[in-house]
Structure 1
Amino acid sequence: MLTMDDIIRDGHPSLREVAKEVQLPASDEDIEILASMLEYVKNSQNAEKVKKYGLRPGIGLAAPQINVLKRMIAIHLNDEKGETHSYALFNPKVASHSVEKAYLTSGEGCLSVDESIPGFVPRYARVTVKGFDIEGKEVKLRLKGLLSIVFQHEIDHLNGIMFYDHINKKDPFSVPENAIGIER
């Protein structure tokens, strides 16, 4: 089982590397890693398990964050409507996106970043993501709102990009042009 000790912190060189494609069909080892990533994210949202295992709550995790430089992400969250979404994907990529932008009004956080970094992170309001699920089946997801933002955050990790790289350094709370604010 993954714990907070498995998550590398900001400043670790792996967080700035571009992750490699996962060879498909995925190896048993890659399937096991991806499944454990999803298990961590789910467990981190369970108050009992957070206390028992000393987990920090999160809604997404990318393989580079556990020092595995492969294109794998796990996401588990309840969206604005209270619907639960759970994904574990190999080789996810943004296939298309809206012109309209979105940002979380509370800003973004990251399991690899211990301190709070204030500011708005401009993202695309809607994205279409393609990838492969844990069984190796191709998936195409049309996402909007919080789910779209979380996918973009995790896919950024696969490209060595941190959320704060997107924050306007001169004016962190300037509202991105043509953007909708999303409450979290």
Structure 2
Amino acid sequence: MNQVQNKFVQYNDQRNSQLLYTPTKEVKDVSSQEIKDLIEQMKEVLKSNTGVGIAANQLGKNVQIFAIRYKAPENQASPLPKELSEDIPLQYFINPRITLKSDDLVYFWHGCLSALDMPLGKVATNKWIEYTAFNESGNQITGRLDGLSAIIFQHEFRHLLGGLYFEYAVDFKTPKELKESFSNGREKIYQIIMNPSGVKPILYNYELNEAISY
């Protein structure tokens, strides 16, 4: 296992992979030093890696907290879709719940810091979600996320529920294959699903307002 993989629990690590498939525990004290230290660790991880989100169980901590952030690439040869052209500031979500979600679904190509040897997977998520959670200051927050921020939130929320993106993917491609598919128009990086009936999104078995139960 290389140095990058050593930072994250991997799905195929027989010693620790159960952490990625076990529902996470509620944080009892959102202002505790333990949570502050974990938040600082997440910040450092996202600074030093290309990932756009990280959940606590990927770092070996079985608690309900994740972080998301995204820096839009500059000097692109071709314009990015609107959903990928805006930065997403670093945000933390502790004990999150989804309170409302769209009927519309979108496809996006997912990878994961806990599945570094897996190809990218085409996964369905709800186009937008509304949520409640606690932030890094211990304050309760609510909000609505759309586009890429909603996708990343749902990917990380799946981690807290237990499970990974590739269990919900309808297609797989290596980065090289995907780049070729984008260039010749066979695939889109962000695609609204015109007929979502029968499509299983990554959070298909989550009930709105439900607390994650360990």
| TM-score interval, smaller chain | 0.7 to 0.9
Q: How far, CA to CA, are the matches of 2:127 and 2:160 in structure 1?
A: 20
Identity %: 26
Paired residues in the alignment total 161
- Match runs of 1:73-152 below 5 Å: 73-78=66-71, 80-104=84-108, 107-152=109-154
How far is 1:9 from its partner? 0.6
How far is 1:30 from its partner? 1.4
Q: Does 1:69 align with 2:84?
A: no
Match of 1:54 in 2: none
Kept in 2, the 8 Å contact 1:89–1:133? The answer is yes
- Asked which structure has the greater CA Rg, the reply is 2
- TM-score, normalised via structure 1 length: 0.79
Q: How far, CA to CA, are the matches of 1:139 and 1:7 in structure 2?
A: 28
Match of 2:46 in 1: 41
Deviations 1:85-131 (A, max 9, x none): 21012112211100000121xx1000000123344200000001211
Kept in 2, the 8 Å contact 1:17–1:159? The answer is yes
> Could you list the runs of 5+ residues in structure 2 that have no partner in the other structure?
73-83, 174-186, 197-214
Kept in 2, the 8 Å contact 1:103–1:123? The answer is yes
Q: Does 1:23 align with 2:25?
A: no
In structure 2, the residue corresponding to 1:121 is in which secondary structure?
strand
Kept in 2, the 8 Å contact 1:71–1:90? The answer is yes
- TM-score, normalised via structure 2 length: 0.68
Kept in 1, the 8 Å contact 2:30–2:134? The answer is no
Q: Cα–Cα, structure 1 residues 129 and 6, in superposed 2: closer, same or farther, change >3 Å? A: same
CA RMSD after TM alignment: 2.2
* Letter in structure 1 aligned against 2:10: R
> Could you list the runs of 5+ residues in structure 1 that have no partner in the other structure?
45-56, 180-184
* Letter in structure 2 aligned against 1:126: W
How far is 1:152 from its partner? 0.2
How far is 1:61 from its partner? 0.2
Q: How far, CA to CA, are the matches of 1:58 and 1:126 in structure 2?
A: 21
* Letter in structure 2 aligned against 1:178: N
* Letter in structure 2 aligned against 1:35: E
* Letter in structure 1 aligned against 2:135: D
Q: How far, CA to CA, are the matches of 2:133 and 2:89 in structure 1?
A: 16
